[in-house]
Amino acid sequence: MSDSRFENVAELIAEARQGDAVCRDKLFGLCRSYLEIVARAQVETWLRAKVDASDIVQETMMEAFRDFEHFGGKSEQEWLGWLRRILAHNVADFVRRYRGTAKRQARREVPIRGARDSTAAFGVAEPAAPCATPSQAYLQIDTELRVTAALATLPDDYQEVIVLRNLERLPFNEVAQRMERTRPAVQMLWMRAIKKLQEAMGEEGERITDEG
């Protein structure tokens, strides 16, 4: 089995389905920081406050692990879409609980087939490249995992400013309020964070080519 990190998510899925525990762990490990960042952005967008999303991630990972045999997709894209849907249910539960509605919605089975719709429903499509060819779509997923892995390596305040500005789509005024800094200061911080992220993504990229 090759050790390259991202090119072979599809392979990892196939191996894991054959019952290879190492590959399965690897597959899940790979997606952890992706789930962490997406979960945090979703919950915080909704609650407009800083929230610890680690429970949601934990729950999502466990459920994905448990229901792995029900996952019928092959590609990375299908895989991330599937994870994202389990995550969305957990986020919705969390938000509902937070709002005092304790009634937990009966969990709907995540459809096994027809994973195609996930792309459209979960906004994976990149606005800048509206008519993505298959190879572009592949690269794009590659970027999604890579950007979250890189983001996870940044210092906390860099992560926070990116999550607030890019993922929660807050204007700089509100970012400044949430971080209790001045607007010019968070703008500077954002510039530096983007720069650092670029570098970190470069490194992740190099690691892939080195290992691959």
Q: Which residues bind another protein (CB under 8 A)?
A: 37-38, 41-42, 45-52, 88-89, 91-92, 95-103, 105, 121-128, 130, 140, 143-144, 146-148, 155-157, 160, 162, 165-169, 172, 179-182, 184-185, 187-188, 190-191, 194-195, 197-198, 201-202
Comparing CB distances to another protein, the nearer of 32 and 96 is 96
Comparing CB distances to another protein, the nearer of 20 and 122 is 122
Q: Give the three-state DSSP class for 122.
A: coil
Comparing CB distances to another protein, the nearer of 3 and 103 is 103
How many Å apart are CA 150 and CA 160, to the nearest integer?
Answer: 14
Which amino acid, residue 162? I
Comparing CB distances to another protein, the nearer of 74 and 181 is 181
Give the alpha-carbon dihedral of 45, 48, 51, 53, to 10 degrees: -10
Cα angle at 206 between 77 and 83, to 5 degrees? Answer: 20
- Tell me the C-alpha to C-alpha distance, in Å, between residue 42 and each of 38, 59, 92, 95, 162: 6, 15, 9, 10, 14
Comparing CB distances to another protein, the nearer of 10 and 201 is 201
Q: Which of 78, 86, 123 is nearest to 94 (CA)?
A: 86
Comparing CB distances to another protein, the nearer of 79 and 190 is 190
DSSP 105: P
Least distance to another protein, CB of residue 209, Å: 16
For residue 199 the two structure tokens come to: 């570098």
Neighbour tally for 84: CB within 10 Å: 22
